[in-house]
């Protein structure tokens, strides 16, 4: 389909987007591969017992990661919420039913002060409380050890913040968690490449691991939680199934999933693990090349191949974006990005101070050509 085919979204009354930002929930996540799309189409012709499907799908994913058990969830944020609820409720249905009333439950979730991040909100949604350990400048392992007490439900660790200065490494936190008998929950939402990172986190001692499907070509509303058998059993106890048909008004009923999405998460993850990632990275280099070549005639703008990371830093590799810098006297980053965003289709790119970043992860080659042509037209 041509980059400028505005069909379905314009008919609904919204402008489509050429995605120069990458994988973002607000832009709808990622693009399905033909195999994922085909699987969803096939699913649409058949019914299945959803609790059975969730168990089987979760086990398939757990097996791929050498984890004991798992469940597909409507995203990593949902997995954090479910994990937080699960460590409080265990396998007790009445506890699942009374959340977010946490009285008498192990409702404190420890987090290193420097690790506070947007998705820790999913912990407090359950009624649990976050307990910060250490200071913004850093935490020591002894402080975590001392902070664990009878009210500690789990330790939350956002894996992408491990490199942050002052962080206690995951393996050391895992040691404390094990010796104190408290679960370690690791948010590894986008740690899917290299593909041995996720099994490595389980090996290091993560008792529960949350992963988002939006970063591996799965549904925007997909993800999974994997980990120890007993904790996944507790997640099942707070999850959405058997609400009407079971004995308890289970906590997680609003976090429901359809069978298409559950299957798509499995198929997309299988594909991700089997994928030729060198080819994927090479296709980005090619696409950034198309973009930069197309911008050679643009006025007052220079484009440089760079890498925009999933935690939003600009580094040199692997190349997945063009960074635009501006000569004085021409368009500014703000005026160009505003002009692109006001078009139909909207072209959305990333503001970065005096620069603009155009990420090609979720672009086709045709779209890269189109974006270069629009910028050239606007700047000359």
Q: Which residue is nearest to ligand PLP (CB)?
A: 75
Residue with tokens 């580094």: 315
Length of the chain equals 380
Closest CB 347 distance from ligand PLP, rounded Å: 23
Q: Which is nearer to ligand PLP, 29 or 183 (CB)?
A: 29
Cβ atoms of 244 and 51 closer than 8 Å: no
Closest CB 249 distance from ligand PLP, rounded Å: 24
Where b means 16+ CB within 10 Å and e means fewer, 70-83 reads: bbbbbbbbbbbbbb
Helix, strand, coil shares, percent, the chain, to 5: 45, 20, 40
Residue 165: name the closest of 115, 111, 109 by CA.
Answer: 115
Residue 111: name the closest of 90, 78, 135, 88 by CA.
Answer: 135
Question: Which helix (H) or strand (E) segment is 53 a member of?
Answer: helix 50-64
Q: Which is nearer to ligand PLP, 169 or 246 (CB)?
A: 169
Q: Which is nearer to ligand PLP, 224 or 284 (CB)?
A: 224
Closest CB 37 distance from ligand PLP, rounded Å: 19
List the beta bridge partners of residue 278.
none
Cβ atoms of 344 and 6 closer than 8 Å: yes
Kindly give, in sequence order, each residue whose CB lies less than 8 Å from that of residue 163, ignoring residues fewer than 6 positions away: none
Task: List residues near ligand PLP by CB under 6 A.
Answer: 25, 75-78, 119, 158, 160, 187, 189-190, 212, 214, 223
> In whole angstroms, how large is the CA radius of gyration of the chain?
23
Q: Which is nearer to ligand PLP, 153 or 218 (CB)?
A: 218
Residue with tokens 């997680």: 252
The end-to-end CA distance of the chain, in Å, is: 28
Cβ atoms of 147 and 177 closer than 8 Å: no
Helices (H), 65-149: 76-89, 93-98, 121-124, 141-147
Closest CB 36 distance from ligand PLP, rounded Å: 16
The CA distance from 117 to 69, in Å, is 27
Q: Which is nearer to ligand PLP, 218 or 333 (CB)?
A: 218
Q: Which is nearer to ligand PLP, 220 or 379 (CB)?
A: 220
Q: Which is nearer to ligand PLP, 119 or 185 (CB)?
A: 119
Q: Which is nearer to ligand PLP, 148 or 350 (CB)?
A: 350
Residue with tokens 């609003």: 254
Q: Which is nearer to ligand PLP, 76 or 292 (CB)?
A: 76
């Amino acid at each position: 389909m041509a980059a400028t085919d505005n069909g379905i979204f314009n008919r609904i009354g919204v402008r489509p987007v050429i995605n120069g930002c990458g994988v973002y929930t607000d832009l709808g996540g990622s693009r399905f591969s033909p195999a994922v799309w085909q699987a969803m189409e096939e699913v649409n012709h058949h019914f299945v017992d959803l609790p059975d499907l969730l168990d089987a799908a979760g086990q398939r994913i757990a097996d791929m990661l050498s984890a004991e058990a798992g469940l597909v969830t409507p995203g990593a944020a949902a997995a954090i919420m479910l994990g937080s609820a699960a460590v409080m409720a265990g396998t007790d249905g009445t506890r699942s039913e009374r959340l977010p009333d946490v009285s008498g439950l192990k409702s404190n979730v420890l987090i290193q002060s420097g690790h506070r991040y947007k998705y820790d909100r999913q912990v407090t949604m359950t009624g649990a409380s976050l307990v910060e350990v250490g200071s913004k400048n850093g935490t020591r392992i002894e402080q975590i050890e001392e902070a664990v007490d009878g009210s500690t439900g789990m330790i939350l660790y956002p894996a992408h913040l491990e490199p942050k200065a002052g962080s206690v490494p995951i393996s050391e936190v895992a040691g404390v968690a094990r010796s104190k008998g408290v679960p370690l929950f690791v948010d590894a939402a986008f740690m899917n490449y290299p593909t041995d990172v996720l099994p490595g986190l389980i090996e290091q001692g993560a008792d529960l691991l949350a992963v988002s499907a939006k970063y591996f070509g799965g549904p925007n509303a997909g993800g999974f939680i994997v980990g120890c058998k007993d904790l996944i059993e507790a997640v099942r106890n707070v999850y959405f199934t058997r609400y009407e048909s079971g004995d308890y008004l289970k906590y997680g009923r609003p976090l429901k999933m359809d069978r298409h999405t559950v299957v798509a998460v499995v198929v997309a993850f299988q594909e991700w693990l089997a994928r030729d990632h060198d080819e994927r990275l090479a296709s980005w280099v090619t696409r950034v090349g198309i973009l930069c070549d197309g911008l050679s005639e643009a006025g007052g703008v220079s484009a440089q191949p760079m890498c925009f990371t999933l935690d939003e830093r600009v580094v040199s590799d692997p190349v997945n974006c063009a960074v635009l810098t501006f000569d004085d006297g021409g368009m500014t980053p703000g005026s160009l990005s505003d002009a692109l965003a006001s078009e139909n289709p909207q072209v959305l790119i990333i503001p970065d101070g005096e620069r603009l970043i155009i990420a090609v992860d979720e672009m086709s080659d045709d779209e890269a050509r189109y974006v270069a042509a629009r910028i050239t037209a606007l700047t000359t």
